[in-house]
Structure 1
Amino acid sequence: MTPPEPRHPTSDDEELLEAETVAILSEYTDAQRLLRIQDELRAGFTQLSHIGKAVSIFGSARTPRDHPRYEDARTLARHLGEQGYAIITGGGPGIMEAANRGAQDAGATSVGLGIELPHEQSLNAYCDIGITFHYFFTRKVMFVRYASGFVVFPGGFGTLDELFEAATLRQTQKIRYFPIVLFDSGYWGGMVDWLRNSMLAEGYIHPADVESLLVTDDPTDCHGALDAVEHRRPRRDRKAA
């Protein structure tokens, strides 16, 4: 079936009226958007303000439950939970589900911060606290503000987005005392080599920017990096986010 042709104003007066209507609707939409942003920030601050020290764990939603990385994420989250950390994820399947599940295994607080997307699913079944956001940036505020650091498992564009946003915030000192751990050297090693051989070689980043990314296959390294930072962090220090 042929789709209908788009409707066009039939007169100058009608065109003027439509333009004014669009302008009014756009202004109204922006006002509503500001209110929604405010509501999302308020909901996040209210529900997460008492979770204590926490770590955000990222990784692909496409990781199947029978994949070794799923079990690695679950084991790591359980280990961190036993050390007193709440676990924060994006609330989806794959690595996120594994980490939330590991948190519940340890009796630690399990947080899922979901995002409204046309093709995404609801929060996984292992979240004690679940918040769904419309805007990526309000969700990102929560990931950084309430975490002592990031542990990043293999993933795609979304995982890289969170990783490099945190790296940028730390490089520019918008956040401090914030370790970024890349779990699975086989996956991340090539990227770190590229950072060193291309970005660093061209002078676009500082050696410390690369050295501060901890690449490991050992869950105890993750806890060690986070614990070292917790001892250095000023009491109730919170990032600029």
Structure 2
Amino acid sequence: MKEEGFPQEYGRARHFRVAIFGSARISEGHQIYRDVYELSRRIAAEGMDVVTGGGPGLMKAANAGHQAGRRNSRVHSIGLNIRLPHEQKANMHLDIKKEFERFTDRLNTFMELSHAVVVAPGGIGTALELFYTWQLVQVKGIDTIPVVLFGPMWADLISWVRKWPLGHGLMDEGDLNSIFMAGTVDDVMALLKQFQAAYLEGEPSMAREREDLQGG
């Protein structure tokens, strides 16, 4: 496992990379754990990196699934771990790990590394990651990153956003353009393949290496 700072080749220009946010509290017996594992396995098979918070729960599911599914050592399972007094130890499925003391530095590194974000079920930390990404896209603090809300728990949140912030003129309809809803692993993968294809169209060098990354 490589530790600490990221070499230049791990920046956003390297190849398509997906951040997966989700709860540290969900164990292997839950269906959503299995779904995130399968999603990340398929992400790896498509030649995409995965980036998580590097901890337990759905982060572990994503990192483990990625290592199980990759066909080439040039794709990576990356963990951005946060040092907390009561949690969290890094999981054992990371190719590259970086430790952080501050949440803001960690969140900014997610933004620097990721081309798309998948938000699985989670609590306050997951909601923070969602809204941090969304707000930076809104104010154009970063290039537009598509955000996929995975699972039924997010539908009520988007309904609230439409009713209150949007309904009362506190945001624009266009602020929802970067948000996508997905109910199944197939739905998420269909979106990620679209995002990857759009990205590759703007990066010819990436298109040339895609077959290698997929193991083709």
User: After TM superposition, is the score higher than 0.5?
Assistant: yes
Task: Tell which has more relative contact order, 1 or 2 (C-alpha 8 A, sep 6+).
Answer: 2
1:23-38 counterparts in 2 under 5 A?
none
Q: What does residue 204 of structure 1 align with? A: 170
Q: For the Cα contact (< 8 Å) 1:57–1:88, is it kept in 2?
A: yes
Q: What does residue 7 of structure 1 align with? A: none
Q: For the Cα contact (< 8 Å) 1:92–1:121, is it kept in 2?
A: yes
Is the radius of gyration larger for structure 1 or structure 2? 1
Q: What does residue 128 of structure 1 align with? A: 95
- Once residues 63 and 81 of structure 1 are traced to their aligned partners in structure 2, the CA distance between those partners, rounded to angstroms, is 22
1:115-154 counterparts in 2 under 5 A?
115-154=82-121
- Once residues 190 and 148 of structure 2 are traced to their aligned partners in structure 1, the CA distance between those partners, rounded to angstroms, is 9
- Once residues 51 and 94 of structure 1 are traced to their aligned partners in structure 2, the CA distance between those partners, rounded to angstroms, is 27
Q: For the Cα contact (< 8 Å) 1:153–1:183, is it kept in 2?
A: yes
Amino acid at match of 1:224: K
Amino acid at match of 1:199: P
TM-score, normalising length from structure 2?
A: 0.83
The one of 30, 35, 48 equivalent to 2:10 is: 48
Q: For the Cα contact (< 8 Å) 1:151–1:183, is it kept in 2?
A: yes
| Residue 94 (structure 1) shift | 0.7
- Could you give the per-residue CA deviations for residues 174-221 of structure 1, whole angstroms, max 9, x where no partner exists? 22231000000x210000000001110001111121243101112323
Which has the higher mean CA deviation after the structures are superposed, 104-113 or 227-236? 227-236
Identity %: 35
Q: What does residue 76 of structure 2 align with? A: 109
Decide whether aligned partners of structure 1 residues 47 and 161 sit closer, same or farther in structure 2, where only a CA change above 3 A counts. farther
Decide whether aligned partners of structure 1 residues 159 and 194 sit closer, same or farther in structure 2, where only a CA change above 3 A counts. same
Alignment partner of 1:65 is 2:31: no
1:158-237 counterparts in 2 under 5 A?
158-184=125-151, 186-217=152-183, 218-231=187-200, 233=202
- Once residues 179 and 141 of structure 2 are traced to their aligned partners in structure 1, the CA distance between those partners, rounded to angstroms, is 17
Amino acid at match of 2:167: A
Q: For the Cα contact (< 8 Å) 1:151–1:222, is it kept in 2?
A: no
- Once residues 82 and 125 of structure 2 are traced to their aligned partners in structure 1, the CA distance between those partners, rounded to angstroms, is 11
- Could you give the per-residue CA deviations for residues 63-112 of structure 1, whole angstroms, max 9, x where no partner exists? 11110100111111111111111000000111100000111012241001
* SS of aligned partner of 2:5: helix
| Residue 44 (structure 1) shift | 3.8
* SS of aligned partner of 1:88: strand
Amino acid at match of 2:193: G
| Residue 230 (structure 1) shift | 1.1
CA RMSD of aligned residues (A): 2.2
Q: For the Cα contact (< 8 Å) 2:116–2:192, is it kept in 1?
A: no
- Once residues 10 and 101 of structure 2 are traced to their aligned partners in structure 1, the CA distance between those partners, rounded to angstroms, is 17
Runs of at least 5 residues in structure 2 that lack an aligned partner in the other structure: 206-216
| Residue 138 (structure 1) shift | 1.5
* SS of aligned partner of 1:176: coil
Q: For the Cα contact (< 8 Å) 1:91–1:123, is it kept in 2?
A: yes
